[in-house]
Chains A and B, each alone.
Chain A
Amino acid sequence: MHEPQLVMYEEEFHKINSILERLVRESNSKSIFLVDRNGQLIAHTGDTEHIDSTALASLTAGNIAATGGLAKLLGENEFTVLFHEGERDNIHISLVHRKVILVLIFDERSSLGLVRLRVKKAGDELARIFDGLLQKAEQGVGAGADSPFAEITDDDIDNLFRD
């Protein structure tokens, strides 16, 4: 397949988490989720306990995909920001580097202007990290003998289904 596999390492994961933690403070938002375009949750921070983060990840990716489809119909490359306004909570979804999706949930303690401002800066930092990860993937770091999957056996796979 053409798209390289997304692999997340300890070092990058910590960097991403610290960017998200800073972003949640600086933007006064309630929670932040970072999702890949295929709907896999990468990281989250803030008050995320009461939210089904797996479902949120899948739905935001679906949302971005559908909006991307609309963009193409209009001859646009992509709509990079989506904003949904609720009675209490609002959700700001942005596409970082056309690769990952940054989701901020915020209420009246913040504002769309502040969120947009902070997201832009954090987005640039996140983009650099994902560029690095992509490079690693292309160089094949984590593949071969390092990969936990190089040595899985058919028994390992069968064991998953043993109830």
Chain B
Amino acid sequence: MSFINYSAREINTKVVYYGPGLCGKTTNLQYIFNATNEGARGKMISLATETERTLFFDFLPLNLGQIRGFNTRFHLYTVPGQVFYDASRKLILKGVDGIVFVADSQRERFDANIESIENMFDNLREQGIDPKSVPYVIQYNKRDLPNAVPVQELRAALNKDNVPDFEACAQSGEGVFETLKGIAKLVLQKLREGAAG
């Protein structure tokens, strides 16, 4: 849930990167961290296991600049992707303003993507959040791999709501900022709707 601070002239929002294990959520955040100058971002926090698998979450605060005199800050979070961390995933969805679903394009992860996006909708509902009320985008990651499923096939399986979707290779950074921009737009548009309503 976004937080508007009239006193500090700040707007803070929370964006969560969701997706199956090893799909590249943390890699997205790492790329954003490395490609953003220091003034526009805070420290990246990773609560990971010894083998660098996300245990609880990664966190990266970003300052996107000003809109109408208000500093626009996005707090990016990832969830742990592994199936058995479901309890943690639910917690991180609390107060979410926008979601990036990161799909792993590899053929052998096709079913894992479907399971994960269904799990995302279930967990939102469990938090009392209507999935239709939360803006989200989809990123088809790892497009550079030889075993990548054609985008049309992924789209048919995952993008039933016809939300904005992006092809990416988070390792090289391709599509990472396009995805971020896509979700930021939706979140800000939603704020505008809320203000108008």
For residue B160, CB closer than 8 A to chain A, the reply is no
For residue B64, CB closer than 8 A to chain A, the reply is yes
Given A6-B3, A13-B7, A161-B181, does the pair A40, B195 have CB atoms closer than 8 Å?
no
B-contacting residues, A50-90, CB 8 Å: 52, 54-55, 58-59, 62, 65-66, 68-69
Q: Which residue of A lies closest to B128 (CB)?
A: A2
Given A1-B133, A65-B94, A149-B195, does the pair A156, B67 have CB atoms closer than 8 Å?
yes
Beta-carbon contact of A152 and B43 below 8 Å = no
Beta-carbon contact of B188 and A40 below 8 Å = no
Given A37-B95, A69-B87, does the pair A148, B133 have CB atoms closer than 8 Å?
no
Beta-carbon contact of B59 and A58 below 8 Å = yes
**What sequence of 0s and 1s flags, for each residue 157-180 of chain B, a beta carbon within 8 Å of any chain A beta carbon?**
000000000000000000001000
With both chains docked as a complex, state the minimum distance between the C-beta of A2 and any C-beta of chain B, in angstroms: 5
**Which chain A residues lie closer than 8 Å to B70 at the CB level?**
148
Beta-carbon contact of A62 and B47 below 8 Å = yes
Complex formed: what's the CA distance from A24 to B55 in Å?
34
With both chains docked as a complex, state the minimum distance between the C-beta of A138 and any C-beta of chain B, in angstroms: 14
**What sequence of 0s and 1s flags, for each residue 73-109 of chain A, a beta carbon within 8 Å of any chain B beta carbon?**
0000000000000000000000000000000000000
For residue B129, CB closer than 8 A to chain A, the reply is yes
**Choice from A13, A143, A157 contacting B195 with Cβ under 8 Å:** A143
**Choice from A10, A36, A59, A161 contacting B3 with Cβ under 8 Å:** A36
**Which chain B residues lie closer than 8 Å to A1 at the CB level?**
1, 129-130, 133-134
Complex formed: what's the CA distance from A52 to B60 in Å?
12
**Which chain A residues lie closer than 8 Å to B69 at the CB level?**
148
Name the prevailing secondary structure of the B interface residues.
Answer: mixed
**What sequence of 0s and 1s flags, for each residue 61-90 of chain B, a beta carbon within 8 Å of any chain A beta carbon?**
100110111101001010000000001101
Beta-carbon contact of A59 and B45 below 8 Å = yes
- Residues of A in contact (CB 8 Å), total 43
**Which chain B residues lie closer than 8 Å to A37 at the CB level?**
94-95
**Which chain A residues lie closer than 8 Å to B91 at the CB level?**
62, 65-66, 68-69
With both chains docked as a complex, state the minimum distance between the C-beta of B151 and any C-beta of chain A, in angstroms: 23
**Choice from A3, A58, A142, A161 contacting B45 with Cβ under 8 Å:** A58
Complex formed: what's the CA distance from A37 to B94 in Å?
8
For residue B56, CB closer than 8 A to chain A, the reply is yes
For residue A110, CB closer than 8 A to chain B, the reply is no
Beta-carbon contact of B192 and A38 below 8 Å = no
Given A65-B91, A144-B196, A160-B65, does the pair A5, B184 have CB atoms closer than 8 Å?
no
For residue B194, CB closer than 8 A to chain A, the reply is yes
For residue A8, CB closer than 8 A to chain B, the reply is yes
Chosen A-B contacts, 25 in total, with CB atoms closer than 8 Å, are: A1-B134, A5-B2, A5-B3, A6-B3, A8-B3, A8-B4, A9-B7, A13-B6, A14-B7, A40-B12, A58-B45, A59-B59, A62-B56, A66-B56, A142-B6, A144-B196, A148-B11, A149-B11, A149-B191, A150-B192, A152-B67, A152-B68, A156-B68, A157-B184, A160-B72
Q: Can you add 5 more A-B contacts, CB < 8 Å, to A1-B130, A65-B91, A148-B4?
A: A8-B4, A55-B61, A65-B92, A68-B91, A149-B11
Q: Which residues from chain A sit less than 8 Å from chain B, CB to CB?
A: 1-10, 13-14, 36-40, 42, 52, 54-55, 58-59, 62, 65-66, 68-69, 142-144, 147-152, 154, 156-157, 159-161
